[in-house]
Amino acid sequence: MALLIIGSDRLDNFYHATKDVAPDRDVRAFPDIGNPSEIKYALAWKADEGALKKFENLELIVSVGAGVDHLFNDPNLPDVPIVRYVDPDLTTRMVQYVVLQTLFHVRRMTEIQAQQRTREWNFLAEPLPSEVRVGIMGIGVLGQACATALGGFGYQINGWSRSEKSIDGVNCFAGDADLEPFLNQTDVLVVLLPFTPATKGILNRDLFAKLSTSGRQPRLPGPVLINAGRGGLQVETDILAALEGGSLYAASLDVFETEPLSADSPLWANERLVITPHNAAESADESIARYFLRQIERLETGKLLENIVDPKVGY
Ligand code: NDP
Ligand code: OXD
* 16 is known as an active-site residue: no
- Per the residue annotation, which of 108, 133, 230, 290 is the catalytic one? 230
Query: Of all protein residues, whose CA lies closest to atom 5 belonging to ligand 2?
Result: 65
- Closest listed residue to residue 27, CA positions, set 45, 14, 10: 14
pTM as predicted: 0.97
Ligand 2 near 7 CB (within 6 A):
no
Of 91, 143, 83, 94, the closest CA to residue 291 belongs to: 83
CATH 3.40.50.720 fits 2-87+283-300, yes or no: yes
By the 8 A CB rule, do 3 and 292 touch?
yes
Q: Please state the CATH superfamily assignment of the domain spanning residues 88-275 in this structure.
A: NAD(P)-binding Rossmann-like Domain (3.40.50.720)
Out of 10, 205, 278, 298, the active site residue is 278
Nearest CA to ligand 2 atom 2: 65
Q: Helix, strand, or coil here: 41?
A: strand
Residue 105 a catalytic site member: no
Instruction: Kindly give the residue spans of alpha helices, DSSP state H, lying in the chain.
Output: 11-21, 69-72, 88-106, 109-117, 141-151, 179-184, 205-210, 236-245, 285-300
Residue with CA nearest ligand 2 atom 4: 65
pLDDT in tens, the chain (315 residues): 999 999 988 999 999 999 999 999 999 999 999 999 999 999 999 999 999 999 999 999 999 999 999 999 999 999 999 999 999 999 999 999 999 999 999 999 999 999 999 999 999 999 999 999 999 999 999 999 999 999 999 999 999 999 999 999 999 999 999 999 999 999 999 999 999 999 999 999 999 999 976 555 557 899 999 999 999 999 999 999 999 999 999 999 999 999 999 999 999 999 999 999 999 999 999 999 999 999 999 999 999 999 999 999 999
Tell me, what amino acid is at 150?
Answer: L
Range(s) for CATH 3.40.50.720 in the chain?
A: 2-87+283-300, 88-275
